[in-house]
């Protein structure tokens, strides 16, 4: 094939154009179906609808070489049926669920003609000012690696040519989440050590799982934009890790190398990206317009172009596009609909499992049989507001078919009267509606106070310097709390929302994230006690933007905080600890851990430890405990974080049940997560707890021998 291709046809294979959807950036090189017909396009994003896709594919197949197009879309947390946003799904700490929802999304999208998704997003995020924290699995690299495997397996299945699969794209390679001060598109502030131990491991896991594509981040590391980062793309990714899939630039990112100040023109930009190992140019036109000149100027070798083309053709081969006339895309049957009962049920299950009970200070859950429920706040409106339930990057999700909380409550509490009043706007100040909301709440015997941030205040280009409750929501909350009615706060959002007083003052508080198509039904069941709020926080929940970044995996200080010694690491005006630690959630006081033993006490590098712990459910209802196993290397140079997550187990317990749980932990798990030479011999602490708060951990020590 390669020998028959002209340069323009080769560059066409390296060109991805957008044929629909709202652009997420400038469109420097607008392209049309005429470019497809001319054989100058290899892949398309944002074109949806079976017929439109089929038309474009027919055009591509009628070109001189007839090479089919790859159709791609951000299928991030669902296609039609929308599951919780990734941070909310991560809260379920359930790899089987992560895989299943990806599978369901792939099944819906592929039958509509989509071949490739720009997911999973694997950016570790420790600063909720960064809006894209919503798109990833949170703050921890071990968890993110687990998430990466589950998502890649779920999207891709065993065979990308099979129906119901999508080629996955691990993004954004790498350290995009380390954007300075949480400002999207800013330079990443990252050390070599945390690059290796925090930001890269999830991508290595995706590569090991066979991910088809990787997307470099918009950001730079030490002045080298990731789109031009030869050491990390050609070096780490391809050479060291053996990645043989395609690297797809982010939106216009090759053209933006000029704005980054590393290229003088499009030819230089294209050469930098190609030589770094970027195969596909998403919408900038730099490859088709800049590479011919780059060749003339000797900035690139023809072989580099050929190698990229071969990788693109290999992806098309892997997707089975050369085989069938119209590919598996043209599956028969009705278009995907959110109503498919199985997917609805899965979406509800995922919503319940991702929702986090932040506290239940007043013991309000389950709520019993209230006669009058007032749903107060801009995120509990009876009509509209569906976009804030399905959240950002919701594919072809249908906001109007994500029932509202009042609707779901009417179905679950048919005897109760349900009132709903927004009170204030979810983004802008204005207090005129507060009096009406207070009147409604006064008449109720249960108040559900639905506050948060709107979907478009979360995601790309949605950084917030003060990621709390926008507008006058706090004033509404104060007015409602002043009534002294039993009040459950239900938060909607894509990040931990910094609103410590409002959260504390509620009788109980739930974080529902943007929980997807079925979040309202899930919440109704949680309130009724049919289901537990199964989530645990995949991120530390800060008290103040002044603490950011706040995360559990800090390195040790030479002066760790000691309340009796002022010259230790602390703030004068705030505690160091977040409002809620990573892992926090679940029915307060339900579970107790005891009797930790880790055996054998000494282990060689190829051995396995057995971590045994007794878990008791003291509550009056069946529930699942989530148990976290951390390690701490007690001496290492460079030193290692004070806590490193290495295992998470969910255990279902009947009321009053006690179980002895045994978790195998290979000695290799004592290693750093980088590409290093294996764990250093020495003493390690194994710390087991229900969250990352160290003072509550059970601790055992083991000795790792040299082998």
Nearest to 653 by CA among 626, 628, 673: 626
Task: DSSP letter for 580, please.
Answer: B
- Shortest Å, Cβ 393 to ligand BGC: 8
CA atoms within 13 A on the CB side of 239: 9
Cα 521 from chain centroid (whole Å): 22
The pair of three-digit structure tokens given for residue 257, joined into one six-digit string: 């190398």
What minimum distance in Å lies between the beta carbon of 125 and ligand BGC? 14
Smallest gap, in angstroms, from Cβ of residue 76 to ligand BGC? 8
Using CB under 6 A as the criterion, what x/- string covers residues 93-112 for binding ligand BGC? Answer: --------------------
Binding mask 63-82 for ligand BGC (x = CB under 6 A): -----------x--------
Which is nearer to ligand BGC, 256 or 487 (by Cβ)?
256
Exposure of 72 in the CB half-sphere (CA atoms within 13 A): 29
Q: What is the per-residue binding string for ligand BGC in 404-443, x denoting contact by CB under 6 A?
A: ----------------------------------------
Classify burial at 37, counting beta carbons within 10 Å of its beta carbon; exposed 0-12, middle 13-18, buried 19 or more.
middle
Please say which residue, 237 or 419, places its beta carbon nearer to ligand BGC.
237
Determine which residue in the list 251, 413, 481, 684 makes contact with ligand BGC, applying CB under 6 A.
251
Please say which residue, 94 or 123, places its beta carbon nearer to ligand BGC: 123
Q: How far is the CB of 197 from ligand BGC (least distance, A)?
A: 24
Cα-to-chain-centroid distance, residue 182: 16
Q: How many residues does the chain have?
A: 707
φ, ψ at 216 (rounded to 5°): -70, 155
Task: Give yes or no for a contact between 314 and 280, defined as CB atoms under 8 angstroms apart.
Answer: no
Question: Shortest distance, CB of residue 284 to ligand BGC, whole angstroms?
Answer: 12
Nearest distance, CB of residue 257 and ligand BGC, angstroms: 15
| Nearest-angstrom CA–CA distance, 230 and 224 | 9
Give CA–CA dist 605/432, Å, rounded: 66
Q: Which is nearer to ligand BGC, 25 or 545 (CB)?
A: 25
| Residue 260 or 646 having the CB closest to ligand BGC | 260
Kindly report the number of other CB atoms within 10 A of residue 662's CB atom. 12
Q: What's 338's DSSP letter? A: T
CB of 329 to ligand BGC, least distance (A): 19
- Does residue 605 contact residue 678 with C-beta atoms inside 8 Å? yes
Closer CB to ligand BGC, 171 or 359, in the complex: 171
Q: What is the spatial distance between Cα 68 and Cα 316, in angstroms, rounded to a whole number?
A: 8
Q: Tell me if residue 197 falls in helix, strand or coil.
A: helix
Residues 6+ apart with CB under 8 A from 386: 398, 399, 400, 401, 402, 404
- Decide: 378 and 473 in contact? Cβ < 8 Å: yes
Taking residues 17 to 46 in sequence order and writing x for each that binds ligand BGC by CB under 6 A, - otherwise, the string is -------xx-------------------x-
Residue 14 or 489 with smaller CB distance to ligand BGC: 14
The CB-of-185 to ligand BGC minimum distance in angstroms stands at 9
The rounded distance, in Å, linking the Cα atoms of 656 and 153 is 37
Q: Which of 77, 171, 389, 640 binds ligand BGC (CB under 6 A)?
A: 171
Helix/strand/coil for 363: coil
Concatenated DSSP letters for 415-461?
A: TSEEEEE--S-SSS---TTHHHHHHHHHT-SEEEEEEE--GGGSSTT
> Per-residue string for binding with ligand BGC, 207-246, x by CB under 6 A?
----------------------------------------
460 touching ligand BGC, by CB under 6 A: yes
Cα separation, 120 vs 77, whole angstroms: 9
User: Cβ 397 to ligand BGC, closest distance in Å?
Assistant: 15
- Minimum CB separation from ligand BGC for residue 42, in Å? 16
Q: How many CA atoms lie within 13 Å of 603's alpha carbon, on the beta-carbon side?
A: 25
| Cis status of the peptide bond prior to 366, with omega within 30 of 0 | yes
Instruction: Please select the residue that binds ligand BGC; options are 250, 352, 453, 644, rule is CB under 6 A.
Output: 250
Candidate residues 83, 93, 98, 118; the one interacting with ligand BGC per rule CB under 6 A: 118
Looking at the Cβ atoms of 53 and 416, the one nearer to ligand BGC is 53
Share of the chain residues as helix, strand and coil, in percent rounded to the nearest 5:
30, 20, 50
In the complex, minimum distance from the CB of residue 278 to ligand BGC, in angstroms, rounded to a whole number:
14
Q: Using the structure block, give the residue that is written with the tokens 């069938």.
A: 324
The catalytically annotated residue of 29, 94, 127, 250 is 250
- Answer whether 379's CB lies under 8 Å from 452's CB: yes
Is the Cβ of residue 219 or residue 540 nearer to ligand BGC in the bound state?
219
Q: How many residues of this chain interact with ligand BGC, rule: CB under 6 A?
A: 9
Position 541 contacts ligand BGC (CB under 6 A): no
Report strand pairing: 682-689 vs 698-704.
Answer: antiparallel
Rg from Cα positions in the chain:
26
Query: Pairing state of beta strands 658-666 and 644-653?
Result: unpaired
How many C-beta atoms lie closer than 10 Å to residue 572's C-beta? 5
126 vs 171, which CB is nearer to ligand BGC? 171
CA 278 – CA 270 distance, rounded (Å): 9
* Active site (annotated) includes residue 250: yes
Beta bridge partners of 660: 614
CB of 57 to ligand BGC, least distance (A): 20
- If the CB atoms of residues 393 and 541 are measured against ligand BGC, the closer one turns out to be 393
Residue 589 main-chain phi, psi, to 5 deg:
75, 0
Binders of ligand BGC in range 369-408 (CB under 6 A): none
> Which residue's CB is nearer to ligand BGC, number 74 or number 691?
74
- The torsion angle over the Cα atoms of residues 180, 181, 182 and 185, rounded to 10 degrees, is -40
Choice between 464 and 697, CB closer to ligand BGC: 464
Q: CA 211 → CA 97, 111, 366, distances in Å?
A: 19, 20, 42
Report, in Å, the least distance between residue 8 CB and ligand BGC: 25
Q: Is 525 in the site for ligand BGC (CB under 6 A)?
A: no
Closest CA to 99 of 165, 162, 172, 150: 150
Active site members: 250
Binding residues for ligand BGC, rule: CB under 6 A, are 24-25, 45, 74, 118, 171, 250-251, 460
């Amino acid at each position: 094939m390669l020998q028959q291709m002209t340069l323009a046809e080769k560059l066409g294979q390296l060109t991805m154009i957008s044929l629909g959807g709202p652009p997420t950036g400038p469109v420097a090189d607008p392209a049309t179906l005429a470019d497809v017909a001319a054989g100058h396009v290899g892949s398309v994003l944002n074109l949806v609808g079976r017929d439109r896709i089929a038309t474009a594919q027919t055009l591509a197949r009628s070109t001189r070489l007839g090479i089919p197009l790859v159709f791609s879309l951000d299928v991030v947390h669902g296609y039609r049926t929308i599951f919780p946003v990734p941070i909310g799904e991560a809260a379920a700490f359930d790899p089987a669920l992560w895989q299943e929802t990806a599978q369901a999304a792939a099944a819906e999208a592929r039958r509509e003609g989509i071949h490739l998704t720009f997911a999973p997003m694997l950016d570790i995020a420790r600063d909720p000012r960064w809006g894209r924290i919503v798109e990833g699995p949170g703050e921890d690299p071990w968890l993110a690696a687990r998430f990466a495997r589950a998502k890649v397996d779920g999207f891709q299945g065993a065979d990308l040519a099979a129906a119901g699969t999508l080629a996955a794209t691990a993004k954004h390679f790498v350290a995009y989440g380390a954007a300075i001060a949480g400002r999207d598109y800013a330079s990443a502030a990252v050390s070599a050590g945390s690059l290796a131990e925090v930001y890269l491991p999830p991508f290595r896991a995706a590569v090991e799982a066979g991910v088809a594509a990787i997307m470099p981040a918009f950001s730079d590391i030490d002045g080298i934009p990731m789109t031009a980062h030869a050491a990390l793309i050609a070096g780490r990714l391809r050479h060291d890790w053996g990645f043989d899939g395609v690297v797809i630039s982010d939106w216009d990112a090759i053209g933006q190398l000029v704005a980054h100040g590393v290229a003088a023109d499009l030819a230089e930009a294209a050469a930098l990206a190609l030589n770094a190992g970027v195969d596909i140019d998403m919408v900038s036109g730099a490859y088709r317009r800049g590479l011919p000149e780059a060749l003339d100027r000797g900035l690139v070798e023809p072989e580099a172009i050929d190698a990229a083309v071969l990788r693109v053709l290999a992806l098309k081969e892997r997707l089975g596009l050369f085989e069938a006339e119209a590919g598996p895309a043209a599956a028969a049957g009705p278009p995907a609909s959110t109503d498919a009962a199985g997917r609805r049920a899965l979406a509800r299950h995922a919503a319940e499992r991702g929702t986090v009970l932040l506290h239940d200070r007043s013991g309000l859950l389950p709520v019993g049989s209230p006669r009058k429920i007032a749903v107060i706040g801009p995120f509990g409106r009876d009509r509209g507001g569906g976009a804030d339930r399905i959240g950002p990057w919701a594919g072809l999700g249908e906001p109007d078919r994500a029932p509202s909380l009042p609707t779901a409550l009417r179905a679950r509490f048919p005897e109760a009267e349900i009132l709903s009043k927004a009170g204030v706007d979810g983004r802008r100040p204005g207090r005129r509606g507060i009096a009406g909301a207070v009147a409604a709440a006064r008449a109720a015997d249960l108040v559900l106070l639905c506050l948060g941030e709107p979907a478009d205040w979360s995601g790309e280009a949605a950084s917030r310097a003060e990621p709390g409750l926008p507008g006058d929501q706090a004033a509404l909350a104060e007015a409602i709390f002043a009534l002294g009615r039993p009040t459950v706060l239900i938060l909607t959002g894509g990040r931990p929302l910094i609103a410590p007083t409002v959260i504390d003052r509620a009788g109980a508080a739930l974080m529902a994230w943007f929980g997807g198509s079925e979040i309202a039904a899930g919440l109704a069941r949680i309130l009724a006690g049919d289901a537990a709020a199964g989530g645990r926080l995949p991120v530390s929940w800060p008290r103040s933007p002044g603490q950011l970044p706040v995360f559990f995996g800090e390195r040790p200080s030479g002066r760790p905080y000691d309340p009796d010694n002022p010259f230790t690491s602390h703030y004068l005006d705030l505690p160091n600890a977040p409002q809620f630690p990573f892992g926090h959630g679940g029915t307060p006081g339900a579970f107790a851990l005891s009797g930790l033993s880790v055996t054998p006490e000494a282990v060689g590098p190829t051995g396995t430890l057995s971590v045994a712990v007794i878990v008791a459910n003291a509550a009056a209802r069946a529930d699942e405990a989530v148990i976290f196993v951390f390690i701490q290397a007690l001496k290492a140079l460079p030193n290692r974080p004070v806590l490193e997550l290495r295992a998470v187990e969910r255990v279902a317990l009947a009321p009053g049940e006690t179980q002895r749980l045994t978790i195998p932990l290979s000695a290799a798990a004592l290693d750093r997560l980088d590409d290093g030479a294996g764990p250093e011999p020495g003493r390690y602490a194994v710390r087991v707890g229900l969250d990352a708060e160290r003072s509550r951990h059970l601790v055992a020590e083991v000795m790792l021998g040299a082998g």
